[in-house]
Structure 1
C-alpha cells in the first residue's frame, strides 16, 4: 500500500511500477523481454502482465512489438517517457525503503539483512490450504 501511495503522483500503481522497474533493469542488461519472460521475472501472472502492458502502452510508457523470432510473442520496451518515469519512481521507492528500514539501521545494515533472511524463510514455508476455518466452524455447529 505504501508503494501504491508513493508512486501514485507519477501516475503509476505498485504493479505497474514493479513491471516497469523490472523492465528497466532487464533493458539495462541488454534484454528486450517478451511479456512471458517479464511475467516469469516479476512473478506476476502472464495475463496480468499483458493487461498492465496494454495500459502502460496506452499511457505512452511502454512499447509492445511483435517478437521477430516468435510472431505470437510480444516484446516490451520502455519509451523515453517510460524510462524517465521509471527512474523517478525508483528514486521515490528507494526513499520509501530508506524511511521504512531506518529503524533497523537502513537498507545496508546487518539488522536489515537479518530481517530479510527471516522474512524469506517465513515466505518459503508452505501453507496448508486445506485448513479452512469456515469448514471447521461449520462442523462444530453440526
Structure 2
C-alpha cells in the first residue's frame, strides 16, 4: 500500500523540525562526514584514514609523558567501540606503526605504544590535519577559538545528559 504524501506532510508538520536542514543532528552528521572526508583526502598520501590518524594521535598524546595506555583506555577516551578499535590497531600494527603488549599490571589488558615509524607518521600527519581544520573551521575552530569553545560546551552537555555505557 502506497503511503500518501499528505500523511507524510502531516507527520513532518506535527512531529519534526520541518526539514532536515533544520535538525541539528542532521546538520552535525553532514558536517562531521564532510570533515572526515577532508581529513581522509589529506591523509591518503600517508596511507592513513581519519580514524587511523585519530587513534595514532591519541596514542601519542596519552603516552607523551612516558605513561602506558591500554586499549580499554583508548576505547573510553575516543568513544570507539573496543572491537572496532582492536581492528584499527591490528591494521596499524601490520603497518609497523604501533606495538601491543600485555600489561605488566593485568595480563588480560593490552597496552599500546607507537613505534618509531608510527611517530614519524604522526609527525607528518598532524600538520595536515591542523591545516584541514583551519581551512574548514577558521581560527574560530583553533585552540581558544569561539567555535571550539562552543563545541566543547555542547559535547560536555551531551556527555552529562546521556547515560550510555562505555563503548564495547
Q: Distance in 1 between matches of 2:126 and 2:84?
A: 21
Cα distance, 1:100–1:47 mapped onto 2, change above 3 Å: same
Match of 2:142 among 96, 107, 110: 107
Measured after TM superposition, the shift of residue 19 of structure 1 is 0.5
The unaligned stretches of length 5 or more in structure 2 are 1-36, 163-168
> Aligned pairs, how many?
123
DSSP 3-state at the match of 2:108:
strand
Q: Distance in 2 between matches of 1:60 and 1:25?
A: 19
Measured after TM superposition, the shift of residue 98 of structure 1 is 1.9
Matched, 1:28 2:60: no
Q: Which residue in the other structure is 1:134 paired with?
A: none
TM-score, normalized by length of structure 2? 0.65
Q: Distance in 1 between matches of 2:58 and 2:154?
A: 24
Contact 2:140 2:146 in 1 (8 A): no
Q: Distance in 2 between matches of 1:97 and 1:5?
A: 13
Matched, 1:45 2:63: no
RMSD: 2.1
Contact 2:56 2:122 in 1 (8 A): yes
Measured after TM superposition, the shift of residue 83 of structure 1 is 0.3
The unaligned stretches of length 5 or more in structure 1 are 128-142
TM-score, normalized by length of structure 1? 0.76
